[in-house]
């Protein structure tokens, strides 16, 4: 069950989330835990990978306060994802704790799915920033090939 007012991180993904931020002398591509979680959720959504988790990280990163996501404008993504998944406009209700918890749980599960994808892609990698960039570029190129979209960049080499 989602914790009211906080976004949780699965315990088995906590070390990855910490490694992806650039604080404390790290070289990760993200500034905050919230940035990592939102990126992972977007990746999970794109790949339709929603993974529930049982054990929650209690330490670093502890469940992240919702105010952090709101201050960065990420709460819109959480709400839209909740609506898209349920097709129930009531899930957007700001006064119903049950709906808020449901929105958070959906978001957390997609973030967990995205973190699972990242774990696989980053396995053995030294520089996470470069690896993530290459992953995104190769995904974009594969999409262009699938759609048959004309891309002038192929003439630049």
Residues of the chain with pLDDT under 70: 1-4, 24-26, 143-157
- Tell me if 35 sits within 8 A of 111, measured CB to CB: no
pLDDT at 36: 94
Question: Helices marked H in 51-154 — which ranges?
Answer: 66-71, 75-86, 97-122, 128-147
Report the relative pairing of strands 64-65 and 6-7 from DSSP bridges: antiparallel
Distance of alpha carbon 20 from alpha carbon 35, whole angstroms: 9
Distance of alpha carbon 10 from alpha carbon 94, whole angstroms: 25
pLDDT at 145: 62
> What is the Cα gyration radius of the chain?
17
pLDDT at 78: 94
pLDDT at 95: 85
């Amino acid at each position: 069950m989602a914790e009211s007012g906080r976004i949780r991180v699965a315990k088995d993904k906590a070390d990855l989330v910490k490694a992806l931020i650039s604080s404390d002398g790290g070289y990760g591509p993200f500034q905050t835990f919230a940035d990592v979680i939102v990126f992972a959720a977007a990746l999970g959504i794109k790949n339709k990978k929603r993974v529930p988790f049982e054990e929650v990280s209690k330490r670093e990163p502890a469940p992240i306060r919702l105010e952090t996501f709101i201050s960065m404008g990420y709460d819109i993504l959480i709400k839209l994802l909740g609506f898209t998944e349920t097709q129930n406009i009531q899930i957007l209700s700001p006064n119903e704790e049950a709906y808020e918890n449901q929105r958070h749980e959906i978001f957390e599960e997609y973030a967990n799915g995205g973190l699972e994808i990242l774990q696989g892609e980053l396995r053995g990698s030294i520089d996470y920033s470069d690896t993530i960039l290459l992953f995104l570029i190769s995904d974009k190129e594969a999409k262009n090939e699938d759609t048959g979209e004309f891309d002038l960049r192929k003439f630049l080499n």
